[in-house]
Amino acid sequence: MGIPTERYSKITDKNQREICLLKAFPCAWGKCAFCDYIEDNSRDEAGMIALNNQVLNLVTGEYGVLEVINSGSCFELPKETLNQIEQVIREKNINKLFFEAHWIYKNRLAEMRKRMPVPIVFKIGVETFDHDFRESFLNKHADFKNPEEVARYFDSPCLMVGIQGQTKEMISRDIEYLKKYFKLGTVNVYNNNTTKIRRDEELVKWFMKEYQWLLDDPSVEVLYEITDFGVG
């Protein structure tokens, strides 16, 4: 089996870092209406650990920053993989780690921060701060009321734009909150997948024109294609 290079990449634009896409146990929620990414999950622990080892062995430490993602939350990674991440951090002189977690893990972030030997930037898939759209339509199961609540736990929200049913007002408010309450953030432009949630082309065009300035904002990464981080 060759090394799966589509699971390792370098981000050389904003916030330079190495990024690894690892395999993990099934997402604890796994019912988001727009997500077919969870098909990357597995229950074969030995297989996951072997694959993750291969991917983590590609880390060089050249930027001193590592991002680890999986199709769910970092808490669903096998224990042995978490141990290896810790080892890589020490061996490659990593001084900052990016992890992602679902809102349901908000009370366990401190535990993970304690476990890892470097500061963690915790990302969260917010998708939108519009409560009704997020919960009723996207079925996100992230029942926070406002951005301040999210900012108490997480460092970097991931927003999604260009979904049918979303409005310009919703997106404008989301970007406003992102800039006001967080130092970092990611905006994913929605791409159709195997789910029923569809992309709104007009809304995407409007967003890319109206918010072109975000492309030059060092604190916000705009992903136009799902694979813009070089993995997946």
pLDDT averaged over 10-residue windows placed end to end, the chain, 232 residues: 71 93 90 79 93 96 97 95 98 98 97 98 97 95 96 98 97 98 97 93 96 95 70 50
For residue 42, the model assigns a pLDDT of 87
For residue 2, the model assigns a pLDDT of 47
Which residue bears the tokens 């690892």?
A: 22
End-to-end CA distance of the chain: 18
Cα Rg, the chain, nearest whole Å: 17
For residue 99, the model assigns a pLDDT of 98
Separation CA 163–CA 189 (nearest Å):
8
Pull the structure tokens for residue 106: 């908000």
| In contact, 208 and 189? CB cutoff 8 Å | yes
| In contact, 18 and 55? CB cutoff 8 Å | no
For residue 189, the model assigns a pLDDT of 95
| In contact, 18 and 8? CB cutoff 8 Å | yes
Instruction: Please say whether the dihedral angle defined by the alpha carbons of residues 197, 41, 123 and 187, taken in this order, is positive or negative.
Output: negative
Burial string for 155-170 (b: 16+ CB within 10 Å, else e) reads bbbbbbbbbeebeeeb
Residues in the chain, total: 232
In this structure, which long-range contacts are made by residues 131-135, counting pairs with CB atoms below 8 Å and at least 24 apart in sequence? 133/165, 133/166, 133/170
